[in-house]
Every structure is written in C-alpha cells, then in structure tokens.
Structure 1
C-alpha cells in the first residue's frame, strides 16, 4: 500500500503558519525582528534525518548544517562506532538504529532525509522517505540495481519531492564551461569519449573469506545486511570494503562513475545506452589457472557503451569506461609532461575539430592543446551554482524549503536516475561476462564456457532488459530479503 505523500500545502512549516495557533495569541514574529537581517527562524529551517551518519554521511550532514538553513533532527546508523562523531556533533538529534522505526515513529517531525548507506540499501531507504512526502538526498550511486534507479526516478515525480544525488561535481563550474565550449562548436561533432579511474582501491576479484568473525557489539549486522541475503559476519567488510562485492556494492563504476561520467553525460545530453560490451581483468590463483570469483567485482574492466547521437553528434556516441588503472592512450595534443586528466582519473571528449578533458568532478577543464584553454573565449551561457561544488548541498536545502519544482537542481533524480542506470548497465555487462555454463563437447566431455564474453549486449531501455542474452537480466532487479521492499 502506498502512503499518501505529505505535500507542500500540508507540510510541517505550512501547518505552523496556517494553523489556528494565532487565535490563541501566538503569532509568527518577522525574522528581522527576531534576529536582524538574514536571521532564519527555526520554523523556516529544513529538518533533516540522516541515515548512515558516519564517514561520508557525517560530512554530508555537516555540509547541510553549515548552510544555516537546516537542522539535523534525527540520526540513524547500524554501527555505533561509525555514528559516534555525528552523535557527538549533533547532540540534540534523536538516534535510531533501524530506519524503519525512525520512519514509523518520527515521520511527522522531519522534512527531508539524507541517505549515505552502502549501495544495496539506498533504494528502500529513499523510497520509504519519498512515500512519506520527504525530500531526499542520496549518495552516489543512486541505487544498486537498474530497476531501483528507474523506480526512484518515477517516484520523485509521483510524490512531488525535491531530490538530489551526491555527485557534487554536477554543481561545479567545470562541466558548465565544457558544455559552453561544446555548444559553441569549439570541438565540433563528438563521437567518442574516454573515462577512466584508478579505482578500485579496495579488494576485488577475490573469493569470499572462509573465516567468520565475532560481530562487534556496536554493529547490528542483520540491519547492515538489510536487503541482502543473510551471511555470517566477516572482518574487513565494514566500513568500506563492501564496495567490491556484488551483493552490497557496485564496484569502481558505482564509486567513481557518477563523478567521472557525469561531465560527458551532461555536455552531450546522453540518456540510455542501446549497446554495451566489455572485457575484464582476472587474477591468477596460481601460475596455471585464472580465478573465477563471480561474487566479487573484477580487478579491472573496459566497458564500451553506445548512445544515440544528438545535436552535434550525427552518429552514435561511443563511451569507454576503464578502471583498475587502465587508461586510454595519451592524446597527441597533450604535452609529454602535462597531467592527463588529474593523474589517476579523468574524462576525455573527442570531437571532429578538437578535444577537451577534465579531472574528477569535472575539475580543471582544458581544451587540447592546453594552450587553447585561455585562448578560446566563449560566453558564459549557463548560470553557476553559488560556491560551485560546495553549493551542491545548499542548492538542495534551499530547493526543499521552496518546494517541488520551485528551484533548479544539478542532479535531481530525473537526471541522476538515467546516469545511474547507465553505469549499472555497464555493470550488467561486467556481471554477464562471468556467467558460467556447461555443455558437452564433440568428445562427450563436459565443458565450461562463458556465453557473455563474446557478444555485444543489446539494451531495451523502455522494458529494462537485454534482448539478446537473457541470462544477464537476472541482475536488472534483485529479490530482497524478507522485511524489505520498494
């Protein structure tokens, strides 16, 4: 059963302003009387509940709080160790371990939710908030599964809530400058893009540890697993190395793709790829045999996605994703001592009349040769976000206070959803690469083969399925553990 959303007309703030409290002698005093110019009374602040409040979650909440327009009202985390700093910093916030109890008990008492948990729990936590009419900020990648990304994108529109994904580079000046160069015709038609990262910097391409460990007293392991199947606790998974396991993370693509693919996605106005193929690196378990570890993301990969061309690209746009230290060849126009991208990561966009590149988050955009960067002058067409990347947080807070569709956002789910789907389609090819089957050869012996390794998968975006390799579709949508659903 879907819960009726709390719209802007019956929100907590509007209730305070429109209720009959004035009849009892209570009046809302103008803010300039209370605190001078710029003073924001508590009734005009966004009340935020944080889910996953350690590490990146802590820094997200601090960034919201420092806008001066938000209060951190509730904290929720399954691990008291990780939550400790936020609990100390936001000492007035009530603390929960289970987000479902937080929603059931306190939904009337906050306006918005920040989700900064592992990937596999993003969708259920964000959907539960949106169904209750709460604005949501969700860390990248938006979801773990393609299906989840599509459903969250639809839900944001259905429930009329203000949304933002945590890819702060979307609010930076760099991507706007690159878009202005492109639309001014500086690099001509674009048909090829390269994106690369030095991730993973956590274990991948390995077998699941055989040795189980004692669950730390501060950690609710069952709640941490959330939507995923139950497994015994192992050391080293929390708080970070879960990224390399398919049941919880989305590998290097999930970690860095939203930061690195976003510039090309934005500049070229991409939507969904229609074809995807890949190759992956392997780890040798000994000198004669390669490892086969389907539970774990591979140590490196090269994925090629094709998108329908738009505007200045008359034919398909081919986007290469490379991780695990794999890089494209250095452009001839780049000096021998000049940094390619930002060293470990980068985006290179190749046009018929020139090339441009940037680092992580779209930082340091440059035309090639780099001397052109200051020589080519184009007008500033797209408004900049105040404080650039750091303004990503204030942008969402202010938009949530203003209400649905009242302000422009850099990465609302209508943009972040298709971007996330694109990255997860790439992961679909990577996971399909390791699908193992058996057949009987001409000698009557059983032979292992991998049908996903030598094909180009055709993607039907409307129906969310691979049309020419059915086995890969098992990864489009997971089955959740009992107690969790969208």
Structure 2
C-alpha cells in the first residue's frame, strides 16, 4: 500500500495485485487517494472481468432463483499451496545478493530472512499476508458481492483451527450477516447470510445437488438454488441443461489488464478500480479481525460507515498497524 500510495501522489496510474492492501485503513486510503488524484486504478482480480462473473450477476439480478437469502463459498487453500497454522517461523539465514530484504519487508517488522517466507508463501504469515481469504476471497467473493449489491456486513463471526503470532490458521469458517438493500438499479434485496470455509472445510452440500457434481459457490434463493462464480458459469441445482438464463446486458470488458490500459488511453473508469476493489478487500480483511478476536466468543457488530467494531473495542486495534520506521502511507 505505501508503494501504491507514493505512485498515486505522483499522479501515476496504478495496477496492484490482490489483495490490494493488508489493512482496512490502507484499503480506504488508497481508494481515497485514487479519487483525489484522478488516476486510473485497478486490482488484478481476473475473475471480475470474466464472462462467468457477469452471467452470475445477470442471473441473480433477473431473479432466476428468486430473492437470495444465503450464499456459501469455499476454497481448499492454503492446503497444498503454502503453510499456515500453529507452526514455527523458520530460523533466519543469509540474505541472497539479488534480494534487498529491507525493501521486501516494507513497513512490516524487521525480522530475519528465510526462503520459506519470501515469494509465494508470504501469504500465510500475519506480518505480510492475509491468508487464504486474502488470496482467493477477491476471486470468490466478487460475484456474490456484485450480484447482491452487498455493502458493509452487519455482523461477522469466525471460528478457526489453532494459529499463533506468526502464522494464520490452517482452516476457518466465517459467517457474515448483511442487511436489506435497495437501489434504483437492483430494487429491494432482503437480508442475506454469507458463509465462507477454507483449508479443507466445506459448506453444506445442497440436498438437490446430483451425486458426483462438484460443489461451487451456492446461492440459495426462495425459488430455487444456483451455483456459479469465480470463472464458473452459473447453473441450476438440480441441473437443467435446457435453461439458458436471461439475455446478457452487462458490459463485457475482456482481459482485466487490457481493461486498465484501455481506461488509461480512453479516459474511462476501469472495471475493478479501487472504489470497488476496496469494498471486496475490506470484507476479506474483516475475516481476519473476526479470527483474531474469536476467543472473546463475540459476534462482531460492524459500523462500516465509521470503520468501527461497536461491541468489542479491542477489535478496532486491527484496522491498521504501526509501520516500521521510514515507511508511511
């Protein structure tokens, strides 16, 4: 986030990978700066530009399965991809000559280098990453968030396997409650419950899902059930191969990187700019706050407008952290 912020202040267009930031404060600050300096921003969530995501939005908005009351999502990560859990950080070794470890650390606390921390596996450590939700949540959460016009959750509750001060838990389940919504574009939408599982934990299998058919992101409506989302075209449960769904109506943007370049060249807004990306990322990061405070046995109540947990004051300590000396946002 500090690097992106520095470029924005120089009025440079910015493309970041997901998650766009490590804390909710950083998310909001980057979105604020992108608007203030009028630059074209983009978060590299390829699924947002996909045909599958747009078809899911079109199906939900058309009421194919009625009003959605509950959504279940999951990923098997981090299992088989990077370590997480109640494990020890490896002892430090000599930094290779081709790596500036100080710059790599950025605002994170100064700690010894090890190759099992750097590169891909940093995702599983609190100092640098945001776990499986931060890695895959941007992909998986995007379609439901868009389709259902979800704003801030009203409550967040989480349980997880053991973790420690270095590593995030191996597996977790999270439940969000979103209030009713209304907009000119979508009309009225009722309250909805959203459940997330990762690390090998799975949501309930729909009773009507055919044997052998893989469970994806599941939308439970008052008129039926559908699945679809991250690069997965929507389908009914049980399947109906003759059902084609509503006519497409959303704009198709193509490749997300090309969309960003096109927005720069044509003076337009990109499809996944920081105003949208910060919304998706904030919900993902609320998961980690709920995990870190789960020992309180408190379902967190969130005042999103004021970026504040209202019923557990200590939870608000996790909205940002003190940067290492020399780094600012």
Question: TM range, normalised to the smaller chain?
Answer: over 0.9
Q: Residue 206 of structure 1: CA displacement?
A: 3.0
1:279 and 1:301 in contact (8 A); partners too: yes
1:380 matched residue in structure 2: 248
- Give the counterpart of 2:112 among 217, 232, 235: 232
2:281 matched residue in structure 1: 420
1:364 matched residue in structure 2: 233
What are the ranges of 5 or more consecutive residues in structure 2 without an aligned counterpart?
none
Q: Secondary structure at the match of 2:305?
A: coil
In 2, Cα distance between equivalents of 1:375 and 1:333: 17
2:148 and 2:189 in contact (8 A); partners too: no
1:243 matched to 2:126:
no
- Give the counterpart of 2:42 among 164, 175, 190: 164
**CA deviation profile, 1:358-383 (whole Å, cap 9, x unmatched):** 25x24232122221x54244121112
Q: Residue 211 of structure 1: CA displacement?
A: 2.3
- Written as runs of structure 1 = structure 2, the 5 A alignment for 1:50-449 is 123-200=1-78, 201-209=81-89, 211-282=91-162, 293-311=164-182, 314-341=189-216, 347-358=217-228, 361-371=230-240, 374-386=242-254, 391-403=255-267, 406=268, 408-433=269-294
Q: In 2 relative to 1, CA 313–303 (structure 1 residues): closer, same or farther, beyond 3 Å? A: farther
Q: Secondary structure at the match of 1:462?
A: helix
Q: Residue 233 of structure 1: CA displacement?
A: 1.6
Which structure ranks higher in relative contact order (CA pairs < 8 Å, sequence separation ≥ 6)? 2
Q: Residue 210 of structure 1: CA displacement?
A: 5.4
Q: In the comparison of the two structures, how many residue pairs are matched?
A: 323
1:190 and 1:313 in contact (8 A); partners too: no
Give the TM-score taking structure 1 as reference length: 0.64
Q: Residue 306 of structure 1: CA displacement?
A: 1.3
Runs of 4+ in 1 over 6 A off after TM superposition: none
**CA deviation profile, 1:202-245 (whole Å, cap 9, x unmatched):** 11113433522111121111111110111122341111111111
2:312 matched residue in structure 1: 469
What are the ranges of 5 or more consecutive residues in structure 1 without an aligned counterpart?
1-122, 283-291, 342-346, 434-449
In 1, Cα distance between equivalents of 2:61 and 2:233: 19
RMSD of aligned alpha carbons: 1.6
Q: In 2 relative to 1, CA 333–210 (structure 1 residues): closer, same or farther, beyond 3 Å? A: closer
In 2, Cα distance between equivalents of 1:376 and 1:185: 14
Q: Secondary structure at the match of 2:119?
A: coil
1:112 matched residue in structure 2: none
Q: Residue 263 of structure 1: CA displacement?
A: 0.7
Q: Secondary structure at the match of 1:151?
A: helix
Q: In 2 relative to 1, CA 377–192 (structure 1 residues): closer, same or farther, beyond 3 Å? A: closer
